[in-house]
Amino acid sequence: MAAQDPKIEERLALVKATGLSMNAADDKRVGDSVRASLMALDAVASGSMFDTEPLHFERALKAHARKGDA
Amino acid sequence: MTEIADWTLIETADAIAARKVSATEVTRAALARIETRQPTLNCFVRVDVDGALQQAAAADARQARGEPLGPLHGVPLAHKDMFYRPGVPVTCGSAIRRNFVPDFTATVLERLDAAGAITVGALNMSEFANGPTGHNVHFGPTHNPWNPEHITGGSSSGSGTAVGGRMVYGSLGSDTGGSIRLPGGICGVYGMKGTQGRVSRHGAMGLSFSLDNIGPLARTVRDCARLMRIVSGADANDPTAADMAVGDYEADLKGDVKGLRIGVPTNHYWEGMSAEVGDVLEAAFDALSKLGLGVTRCEAPHHDVVRGLGNIVSSVEFCTLHDDWLRHQHDSYAPLVRARMKQGYAFSAVEYLKAIQVRPRITSDFVNQMFSKFDALLMPVLRFPVPKIVDTDVGDSQGMNEVLGSVNHCTWPINYLGLPGLAVPAGFTGNGLPVGFQLVGRPFDESLLFRIAAAYERATGWPERTPELPG
């Protein structure tokens, strides 16, 4: 159960702190979703991000355009 | 003889330009078709009969005066009810915005207006574009034109049905996780989600700043290509709109496809594939092979993480836009929409920004790995036959995430990657419902996707089949 995982409990507390009502189905759904998403984030963004460049998604897209499109 | 409402967008524009039919006759035909089919399909939230006829009369008058005609002169369109125009209500499929009236015009509507299009009304959609099936508790579900018991896909549900049901010649939708490509593939029409930034979002309702895209749905590749060219390009009112040149997509349709390499990722997209949809897609591979394209199975990198990363980005951004209403008008949302939003509050700012920060690296690596070997990728739109409305009416039940996640399983990753994706009609399953695939390309390579789809359309002729509906 999502509600028995202390890390997920912390996340559910964040949602509840907004004042929004949460039922058991919400707890399970939010817990499952958060767990899966954070696992994905840990897989690609673990460790220091100190040396990463500033945000540049648009630049990355343009850099990969077929030559002649720019 | 084919009825006017069954003509393609291009045929209709050509016939008006050649004075074989007037804009008023075409608009009356569309309005008559809407009147007959709307009770079955529920794809319109508003039909503007008087306004459409006034626009058509003005178009005919311009033509009579010998004024230059735009590429959509006199062609009736209708769009997802989320594009702003002064004095015209825009509900966004919601109760909260039921009486909202904007005071400026969306850039995409300005561009369609300048091209001569007629707007006949506004189309049903998932509430605030949140939901991949086409359900809406405020306006009722939109019904699939091929069988009204089945879903349309969402969130541009009305767009898929109005175009697939031959009520209008084209439509604009929006796509944050598949909302153009799902109703495209599920309703048997084309739907183009361009590269992130390809189309201006000024004056269009937002769902997720980083993942939203505006794009057209239409019956043929050429129809879709014409609409996409008109709405694409830089916009002084939208700094996120890319300043990249827009190709002549229609002219490029005639280009050769022989020797092009198509990659078919089998991980993620093929997991849980139904035999019936798999057979239709195998037939599509054969058709493409006969056209001289190389079709090769491959592995798509990063698909163990893109859903989760996209989920962080979209849910936090959705909460950001809706925070005030969610706290103060909580009960005005459908239970499903409310339930989907809550998770956005569970992520920290640092986690959200990490998910944004790694995006360029993941997309770059994906493009380098995939498009060094292939010119385009082919994935299903849906891995199973189009389900019934009643079977996907999950509300905020325990299994909501699983059902909705199964519907947008194949379209969702492409938004985080920011790549262009074109839904292409590919045949039908035994229940008579359409099957579609999506072609995905490198950034700003929309033209190549249209070209491959055009060759496939010429070889298979799928858009020539029409649904059996009253009127």
Q: Residue A31's closest chain B neighbor by CA?
A: B343
Q: Are B309 and B417 in contact (CB under 8 A)?
A: no
B114 secondary structure, DSSP code: H
Q: What is the pLDDT of residues B33-67, one digit of tens each?
A: 999 999 999 999 999 999 999 999 999 999 999 99
Tokens standing for B415? 């938004």
Closest partner residue to A55 (CB to CB) among B197, B244, B357 is: B357
> B112: buried, middle or exposed (CB in 10 Å: 19+, 13-18, 0-12)?
buried
Q: Which helix (H) or strand (E) holds B61?
A: helix B49-64
Closest partner residue to B309 (CB to CB) among A21, A41, A63 is: A41
- pLDDT at residue A1, as a whole number: 43
Amino acid sitting at position B109: L
What's the N-to-C CA distance of chain A in angstroms? 51
Tell which B residues from 412 to 451 touch A, by Cβ distance under 8 Å.
418, 442-445, 448
**Whole-angstrom distance, CA of residue B77 vs CA of residue B407:** 27
**Whole-angstrom distance, CA of residue B218 vs CA of residue B220:** 6
B179 labelled catalytic: yes
**Whole-angstrom distance, CA of residue B447 vs CA of residue B247:** 7
**Whole-angstrom distance, CA of residue B400 vs CA of residue B314:** 17
- pLDDT at residue B375, as a whole number: 98
Q: Could A61 and B418 be called an inter-chain contact, meaning their C-beta atoms sit closer than 8 Å? A: yes
- pLDDT at residue A11, as a whole number: 94
Q: Could B364 and A63 be called an inter-chain contact, meaning their C-beta atoms sit closer than 8 Å? A: yes
What's the N-to-C CA distance of chain B in angstroms? 15
Q: Which helix (H) or strand (E) holds B88?
A: none
Would you place residue B445 in the very low, low, confident or very high pLDDT band (cuts 50, 70, 90)? very high
**Whole-angstrom distance, CA of residue B382 vs CA of residue B151:** 12
Q: Is the Cα dihedral B128, B130, B132, B136 positive or negative? A: negative
What three-state secondary structure class fits A6? helix
Q: Could B346 and A36 be called an inter-chain contact, meaning their C-beta atoms sit closer than 8 Å? A: no
Q: Count Cα neighbours of B425 within 13 Å in the Cβ-side half-sphere.
A: 29
Q: Are B152 and B160 in contact (CB under 8 A)?
A: yes
Q: Quick count: other Cβ atoms within 10 Å of Cβ B296? A: 12
Interface test with A, best of B229, B261, B305 (most A CBs within 10 A): B305
Would you place residue A47 in the very low, low, confident or very high pLDDT band (cuts 50, 70, 90)? confident
- pLDDT at residue A49, as a whole number: 85
| Reported ipTM | 0.92
**Whole-angstrom distance, CA of residue B174 vs CA of residue B207:** 9
Q: What is the mean pLDDT of chain B?
A: 97
B339 touches chain A (CB under 8 A): yes
- pLDDT at residue B312, as a whole number: 97
**Whole-angstrom distance, CA of residue B125 vs CA of residue B369:** 36
Matching residue, tokens 């459409």: B52
B306 touches chain A (CB under 8 A): yes
A35 touches chain B (CB under 8 A): no
**Whole-angstrom distance, CA of residue A23 vs CA of residue B314:** 22
Q: What is the pLDDT of residues B410-419, one digit of tens each?
A: 999 999 999 9
A39 touches chain B (CB under 8 A): yes
The answer for residues whose C-beta is within 8 angstroms of residue B282's C-beta and 6 or more apart is none
Q: What is the pLDDT of residues B182-241, one digit of tens each?
A: 999 999 999 999 999 999 999 999 999 999 999 999 999 999 999 999 999 999 999 999
Q: Could A40 and B304 be called an inter-chain contact, meaning their C-beta atoms sit closer than 8 Å? A: yes
Closest partner residue to B351 (CB to CB) among A21, A41, A62 is: A41
Would you place residue A51 in the very low, low, confident or very high pLDDT band (cuts 50, 70, 90)? confident
**Residue with more model confidence, B338 or B23:** B23
Q: What is the pLDDT of residues B118-143, one digit of tens each?
A: 999 999 999 999 999 999 999 999 99
Tokens standing for B299? 């592995």
Q: Could A65 and B443 be called an inter-chain contact, meaning their C-beta atoms sit closer than 8 Å? A: yes
A5 touches chain B (CB under 8 A): no
Q: Could A20 and B327 be called an inter-chain contact, meaning their C-beta atoms sit closer than 8 Å? A: yes
- Name the residue among B126, B129, B164, B167 with its Cα closest to residue B147: B164
Give A34 to chain B, closest Cα distance, Å: 7
Q: Quick count: other Cβ atoms within 10 Å of Cβ B371? A: 21
Would you place residue B395 in the very low, low, confident or very high pLDDT band (cuts 50, 70, 90)? confident
Q: Which residues of A touch B325 (CB under 8 A)?
A: none
Tokens standing for A69? 């499109």
B101-108 mean pLDDT:
98
Tokens standing for B218? 């239409």
Q: Are B471 and B31 in contact (CB under 8 A)?
A: no
The answer for residues whose C-beta is within 8 angstroms of residue B266's C-beta and 6 or more apart is B297, B298, B299
Q: Which residues of A touch B367 (CB under 8 A)?
A: 64
B470: pLDDT strictly greater than 90: no
Tell which B residues from 356 to 375 touch A, by Cβ distance under 8 Å.
356-360, 362-364, 367-368, 371
Q: Are B110 and B102 in contact (CB under 8 A)?
A: no
Q: What is the pLDDT of residues B253-293, one digit of tens each?
A: 999 999 999 999 999 999 999 999 999 999 999 999 999 99
Matching residue, tokens 């989320």: B82
Give B50 to chain A, closest Cα distance, Å: 43
Dihedrals φ, ψ of B378, to 5°?
-125, 125
Closest partner residue to B442 (CB to CB) among A33, A38, A65 is: A65
Residue B295's beta-bridge partner residues? B262
According to DSSP, the β-strands at B261-265 and B376-380 are parallel
Q: Which residues of B touch A48 (CB under 8 A)?
A: none
B470: left (phi over 0), alpha (psi -120 to 50) or beta: beta
The one catalytic residue among B22, B94, B155, B232: B155
Q: What is the pLDDT of residues B302-347, one digit of tens each?
A: 999 999 999 999 999 999 999 999 999 999 999 889 988 899 999 9
**Whole-angstrom distance, CA of residue B257 vs CA of residue B151:** 34
B80 labelled catalytic: yes
A1 touches chain B (CB under 8 A): no
Give A67 to chain B, closest Cα distance, Å: 10
Q: Provide the whole-model pTM.
A: 0.97
B350 touches chain A (CB under 8 A): no
A41-50 mean pLDDT:
90
Q: Could B364 and A20 be called an inter-chain contact, meaning their C-beta atoms sit closer than 8 Å? A: no
Helices (runs of H) and strands (runs of E) counted in chain B:
16, 11
**Whole-angstrom distance, CA of residue A27 vs CA of residue A29:** 6
- pLDDT at residue B1, as a whole number: 62
Write down how long chain B is: 471
Q: Could A12 and B346 be called an inter-chain contact, meaning their C-beta atoms sit closer than 8 Å? A: yes
Which value, in Å, is the radius of gyration of the alpha carbons in chain A? 19
